Structure 1
């Protein structure tokens, strides 16, 4: 198993008033280098054979303080935490839906994502994705309790279930696009939260971020391998549709774009988007653009031969 090194933005602890965009650039360059992305992608065959969750660094939860929140009102920050908890909590539903879409196409990745389930739905083995992601909601709850002294009140939502519409490849295309964009959105959100925090609070978001980068990278690479002709263009088109709110009827993938826009709108709703200041909104859009551009450049070096070595496995 490859080792993971925790990279905390030490400069932010020295200068909490450092320009947020510069802090974002620093974090992006620390956590999303091509070397890191390649390493996360290349350990997938190892995880197929011997799945091991990424260990977190020790966290001293009692050291989390309200003053570690930078350049954002605490009540807005707490509302974002609530939204993140609501999004992260139903991980079992996410993993099992993805497992069902993946099983006819790539059983090993299906197992990595959602483990093994009996015919009646009983879990026989947890997937590595679930083992890592199920730490997120409890961590966010701990942050909230440490900042307020209270347990957060939040609403659980039910993820979309598996639905066979066309054929397994078409269905996985649609679902996989949705999964990659939600993971990418989580990466951008946790980068933004790291830029607005310091100390132990920032350390927790660093752990969440590293998990999301790990999973996003693997799903992104899988999509490039399975759908090499249209994957990147479709991600770009869908994101443009969501951000500029173009008429979905102009796209050839109408339903996928509509579903993605609804997901994005729901996600921003639970994150209290209406309570964000305009400069905070622009910061998040800045991250979305920077990270997407970085992923685009990285993808150009992922040749079909390279991806085949990672995803073509022996039965």
Structure 2
């Protein structure tokens, strides 16, 4: 699988790490230099784009343009959860990126993107601006957005703020109402640094504390730990995010139903963990009332949030992409 790592200076010069998978040489988007998806100028921060690959392409990549296609299909923009990183989508990208660009990023304060002394730099509004910067820098427009949890809320925000960026949306276990019990767990998890002695201890902690997930082997849990913790200079393993992000979760939640309404005229697929403590059945019913054409796939025995390579979820996403070329 081809992986390109880009480094972009955000609007305030904070460094952002961006991943891009399955880029076929003849499948670059047809957007003129210096143009945003809405036709405006590229922000001054974006000349900081470094397009040199950090990883060499692997032989045998499935990247290609289907026969008879005159224009590349819309790219896929994957937006991770609140303190997750773009690396979460690596396995999914290998399954769905054969004829499309797949782009994702680490938000500020997460993964390999920069840290800030101001916790407000990690707020949803700032992250939304970062996503728009990345789309402008990489000429992403009319994207199919796959948003997990917090990333799904950003997808709604993009549809409201920059409708030309959004072609279709996959929401992963998120809606306009967030259940209180799930929100309390997330706040505690995000704000706690367990300072673990080893990666194996991290895998054990995740296995014991996370909601039910479709991770069935020791190797799968170890990989989840690798994506969640990183070794510090003290030799211990710490969260791969700034734990100050938890402070944002103490604020009263806004009314998110108006921005969900921005998806009313777009194709939408909702993937839900059937035992999710974040997205409750009543919220799904109300979402379907607002958007009757929204497809819903429920994964039995799975909590927040699906990893999207579960067979029913992956099949639904592949079919959704095929119907929205």
- Calculate the TM-score normalised by the size of structure 2: 0.31
Relative contact order (C-alpha < 8 Å, sep 6+): which is higher?
A: 1
Flag the structure with higher strand content: 2
